[in-house]
Structure 1
Amino acid sequence: MKYMATYDLMETVRVTNQWLGASAKAMYSYPVFGLTANPLIQMTAAWGEVTERSFARMVAKPDWDIGSVVCDDGRDHLVKVVTEMEKPFGDLLRFEVHNREGKRRRVLLVAPMSGHYATLLRSTVVSLLPDCEVYVTDWHNARDIPVSEGKFDIEDYTLYLTDFMRHLGPDIHVIAICQPAPLALAATAYLAEEDPSAQPATLTLIGGPIDPGAAPTEVTDFGASVTMGQLEQYVIQRVGFKYAGAGRLVYPGLQQLTSFIAMNAETHANAFFNQIMAVAKGEAGDSNRHNKFYDEYLAVMDMTAEFYLSTVERVFKNREIARNEFEVAGKRVDISKITDVAVKTVEGAKDDISAPGQCVAALDLLTGLPDSKKANHLEPDAGHYGIFAGRSWRNNIRPLVLEFLDANSRNAADATGVSDTPGTAASTPSGSTSAASADRKSA
């Protein structure tokens, strides 16, 4: 399938469906149909509106849409997104809060590069902005990166993280969510040997596959059931003529989206049927719950082929991070070299993507780190999304994470006058079954 024509065929199907939706919406919105008693007219126009919006969103990068934030003084402060560091495959962004004294607590959110944009963490950013200076990794869509920029695999991703950490300094607190958790751990270990003074103050790993073999899910089962040759043959394509990255080998976002939807096809079908009915009745707003969710969910990005294939092979199949055998630029990255960076893991009891056990495995690898600098939290009744952006994050996990950052800051003054959740983080030994209960009590 590694042909530009195949990629262009998928784009042609998308554009055709977008056009069909727009045509249906326009045609059945003519005034002449206004007095028609047949409800099929309104239903068809509603179908067209929902279809056009859905297929148009698939190639649009969502905006951060964070206009302002309420701070300690009770006032709204404007927020501006600033590019702190620019690189070919991803930028480091800073959320600048105007007319607010800088916060001592500085947080780097490492966003996943697994098919969606970094804006998937919008609610996470909003929840942290009142109390922190927030930075985030903003990965670029591979279809927009010219072939002349070269390759980008998981080793390059790891080195990008080390560059960002060096730039932000040793007082930064790193929070890696889902896919980048094992690579953030590897980046910290890399710095522990190459540039110890650039290591972050803390590392929080949320729902990441440190050891995919610790607890099976559909994701790990898929990785085990297919060969690398099959993946390269059937899911890798070349970017078509429409984009700047024409000719680049990628794992297309549209193909990833098809897999996402297939996993819960009935749920998505019901959601779209209900939205069509709501539009036909005039009860659907532009920013209702359906549109807010699917505007983000349907906006997908391509990953470079080498990044996707190396992730499957080295993280999931060979479990190089879990076995502490990961290499960057020919040099083994030894996780046991991390000796003074406090590490906390967070898992959701109902996470069906990175099941409980996969992320906490990081603490067993940190043999050089004192138990007093390790902590883990298992959030009951929380799924994958909930542990970083849902109710569980806002009510339970976020306060615990902020306490952990303050308790393990490199500068004691960092925890002074900046946190609405004072106290000491619950730090427990690796693998301790009491860790989750201790964290819940401190919440």
Structure 2
Amino acid sequence: MRYMMTYDLMETARNTNQWLGSTARAMASYPMFSAMPNPALNWMAAWGEVTERSFQRMAVKPDWGIRTFTCEDGKDHLVEIDTVVERPFGDLIHFKVAGREEQPRKVLLIAPMSGHYATLLRSTVKSLIVNCEVYVTDWHNARDIPVSAGKFDVEDYSLYLVDFMREMGPETHVVAVCQPVPLALAATAYLAEQDPKAQPSSLTLIGGPIDPDAAPTEVTDFGRRVTMGQLEETMIQQVGFKYPGVGRMVYPGLLQLTSFISMNGERHSQAFNDQIQRAAKGETSDHDSHNRFYDEYLAVMDMPAEFYLSTVERVFKNRDIARNEFTINGHKVDFGKITDVAVKTVEGANDDISAPGQCIAALDLCTGLDNSRKASHVEPGAGHYGIFAGRSWRNNIRPLVIEFMDANSRKPAPKRKAPRKTKAK
């Protein structure tokens, strides 16, 4: 019961801070105070505005915000988000551009389940929707999943990927980002043995911990330093009475957010101080650079406890993937069985989460794959976020990934047309 009380205490603190911000904003904006010009009142209203929005967004899933797409015909076409496969812990969704011919490339974008929602890949989706049919794994917030739905660990996650790949078919190009990289590789190897005809055409692995020991970072050092007992005792809590998942053991999103912010505490503190100053001067808007970033960054989701703990134990501590000892439902997965899926790894030279060397280890594990079907790329000067959503992705990495897909497609490569300006809105 103490875990449930702790969970509710964190939610109470969030609610209280949101209320304090709202109250400060309302009081400082009271018309009577306009007769007494005082900079402190403007600052109080600005503090309230920033505080209320910051704590409110922590409990809200961001919207994808991809509503229309300008096609080659010069017209804006509606973008519909269709649910292709619906499951308790996550859905397979399709960004369908209404009225547009089906694109030759079918891409499965595997989003991480690591605190943030799949919407973290919004810009990645926008860049791929230009000439691809984009499907995304949309993971659910564990606090909203009833206990009756059962557990969800790394093996269950891998089996979800297997089912999604089967649903999409062998012409699919899989792109895994960050945390799911090792599990995407495991799901592909599982299919290579159990259902070879359902294997995807290509597998692009971006900035993931295939072998965490290949290049130590603060994340891998933490994984080695802490014991599983310590993690279970300090990180795992029980969902409170407010949500449908009451009683489910989770790694709370608010606790994860505390860890995220503490890694760059001074930078975040300065960013919020600057935003308060801008708000006091009337220089802020709903879609300014600060709000665009923090609306996504502060929106966090609870992670199933068994998924978090099994990730730390099996991927980081025991290195089951790196040692080719990973099992799914009692079946030992052999990465050497991957012989018909082209594999490409992408790393950022300045990635401090999955440092260069951790992801490229996947190519050595694929002993049955011909070298001509292996590829790797290290992006100079790119950090973790940049290799899948920043300038490095848009300008350098995305074209290489598209080229890799075309070179390893089970369908004829699409004819190239004269480039025209397209954009997602």
Q: Tell me, yes or no, whether TM beats 0.5.
A: yes
Match of 1:427 in 2: none
* Aligned-partner residue type, residue 221 of structure 1: D
* Corresponding position of 1:364: 364
Q: Is the 8 A contact 1:103 1:418 kept in 2?
A: no
Equivalent residue runs for 1:40-189 within 5 Å: 40-189=40-189
**1:156-198, Cα deviation, whole Å (9 max, x unpaired):** 0000000000000000000000000000000000000000000
Whichever residue aligns with residue 111 of structure 1, its letter is A
Q: SS at 1:283's partner residue?
A: coil
Partner of 1:388: 388
Relative contact order, higher structure (CA 8 A, sep 6+): 2
Question: 2:299 is matched with which residue?
Answer: 299
1:378 aligns with 2:378: yes
Match in the other structure for 1:220: 220
The CA deviation string for residues 357-378 of structure 1, in whole angstroms up to 9 with x for no partner, is: 0000100101000000000000
User: Which residue does the alignment assign to 1:191?
Assistant: 191
2:414 is equivalent to residue 415 of structure 1: yes
Tell me the distance in 2 between the aligned counterparts of 1:262 and 1:419.
48
What is the distance in 2 between the residues matched to 1:194 and 1:358?
A: 27
CA distance in 2 between counterparts of 1:420 and 1:165 reads 31
Shift of 1:71: 2.1
Deviation at 1:2, TM superposition (A): 5.8
Contact 1:105 1:418 in 2 (8 A): no
Partner residue, 2:423? none
Partner of 2:350: 350
Distance 1:108 1:419 in 2: 26
Percent of aligned positions with the same letter in both sequences?
71
The C-alpha deviation readout for 1:178-226, integer Å capped at 9, x for no partner, is 0000000000000000000000000000000010110011100110110
- Residue 19 of structure 1 pairs with residue 19 of structure 2: yes
Aligned length: 420
What is the SS of the residue equivalent to 1:346? strand
SS in 2 for 1:33: helix
Deviation at 1:330?
0.5
Q: Structure 1: which 5+ runs fail to align?
A: 422-443
TM-fit CA distance, 1:70: 2.0
Q: 1:318 deviation in Å?
A: 0.4
Amino acid at match of 1:326: F
Kept in 2, the 8 Å contact 1:2–1:249? The answer is: no
The Cα shift of 1:419 comes to 9.6
Q: Deviations over 1:359-407 (max 9, x none)?
A: 0010010100000000000000000000000000000000000000000
Indicate how the Cα distance of structure 1 residues 186 and 231 shifts in structure 2: closer, same or farther if over 3 A, else same.
same
1:235 and 2:235 aligned: yes
Deviations 1:42-76 (A, max 9, x none): 00100000000000000100000101112223332
Per-residue CA shift, 1:65-100, capped at 9, x if unaligned?
101112223332211111111001000000010110
Matched position secondary structure for 1:58: helix
Deviation at residue 130 of structure 1 after TM alignment: 1.2
Amino acid of the residue matched to residue 247 of structure 1?
G
Q: Quote the Cα distance in structure 1 between the aligned partners of 2:344 and 2:418.
A: 18
CA RMSD of aligned residues (A): 1.2
